Amino acid sequence: MILTVTLNTALDLTYRVRELRPHGSHRVLEVTERPGGKGLNVARVLAALGHEVTVTGFTGGATGHVVKEQLARTTGVFDALVPVAGATRRTIAVVDGRTGDTTQLNEPGPTVDRAEWSALQEAYGQLLGSASVVALCGSLPPGVPVGAYAGLIRSARAAGVPVLLDTSGEPLRRGVAARPDIVKPNADELAELTGSHEPLRGAQDARRRGARAVVASLGPRGLLALTPEGRWQAAPPTRVRGNPTGAGDSAVAGLVSGLVEQLPWPERLSRAVALSAATVHSPVAGEFDRAAYEELAGRVTVTGGARPGKGLKGLPRPGTA
């Protein structure tokens, strides 16, 4: 099975309002509620693609109970979440019905104590035994040590399980140093990690810091991949309009599923870009539109090649992006 880890799970709420006016009072016209946190989003997409996925991480309180109830109704996702005393955080996306713009409010999450963190590490160690790949996703809740992902990466490597890391800030910096197989930063996260606002240069630096492969998500421009097998850039055929929430998580699902299916990099990247674009296109935030995915999958442009070198066609060069 595929294992995804979401240390800071969430109950994701979407509120549709007629028009968001600061300091006003708003009647919420429509409420949707679903399990959230990057690793749970990745798991949902993987399950929709027909993979068996196990999710671990922390949940607690009444909000955690709702998350677990909804996961239980998701075919293909097995719940191995570890209980905590605190309550799972809520995130609220307020969608302005007039403009479609979203205003996001994210609770910080429960404080995790030392015993809870030990319980997670133990559960994770056992789950690695039957995992074909593990994806470590999202922010850390208060109380979890900043080097948490670095430790989880070392355990995965010791168990011979390929590991993808998708996080930001100091947890990303420490995680990269623990030599994960793939990191998937977006442009901002990559710039924060490396100090370079030029994605190719940033990705090169991230590899030097320890990542075996770097797949940078560049928003509507698609993905840039620097790997031991080669360098590629994959872009959607047209600019897709819609809500980018969850697009990065769908890209991770594409990369992870491609890895377990042993697809070559260009196919993994096409799938990741098509899933990501089909998520932006979907009317429901964070869900992918299957018809759009199937239509887009054959139309992603992949440039670059299997031999690393200078001047790869279509790849931005340092100083020219």
Residues 83-102: x where in contact with a second copy by CB under 8 A, - otherwise, as a string: -------x-x-x-x----xx
Strand, coil or helix: 223: strand
Residues 108 to 147: which contact a second copy by CB under 8 A?
A: 108
Answer whether 206's CB lies under 8 Å from 190's CB: yes
Mark whether 166 is an active-site residue. no
* Burial letters 281-311, b for 16+ CB under 10 A, else e: bbeebbbbbeebbeebbeebebebbeeeeee
Is the CB of residue 51 less than 8 Å from the CB of residue 103? no
170 binds a second copy (CB under 8 A): no
Q: Could you tell me the two tokens for 225?
A: 């991949």
| CB closer to a second copy, 27 vs 313 | 27
Answer for which of 1, 32, 66, 151 binds a second copy (CB under 8 A) is 66
User: Taking CB under 8 A as the rule, does residue 65 contact a second copy?
Assistant: yes
- Closest contact distance (angstroms) between CB of 129 and a second copy is 33
Among 25, 75, 262, 320, binds a second copy (CB under 8 A): 25
Span near a second copy by CB under 8 A; candidates 45-53, 58-66, 120-128, 199-207: 58-66
Per CB under 8 A, does 20 bind a second copy?
yes
Nearer residue to a second copy within complex by CB, 138 or 258: 138
**C-beta separation of 154 from 178 below 8 A:** yes
| Residue 53 dihedral angles phi and psi, to the nearest 5° | -130, 140
Is residue 28 involved in binding a second copy (CB under 8 A)? yes
> 271 with 48: CB under 8 angstroms?
no
Catalytic residue among 12, 166, 181, 249: 249
Residues 6 or more apart whose CB falls under 8 angstroms from that of 227 comprise 212, 213, 214, 265
The most distant pair of C-alpha atoms in the chain lies apart, rounded to whole Å, by 58
Active site residues: 249
Residues in contact with a second copy by CB under 8 A are 13, 15, 17, 20-29, 31, 62-63, 65-66, 90, 92, 94, 96, 101-108
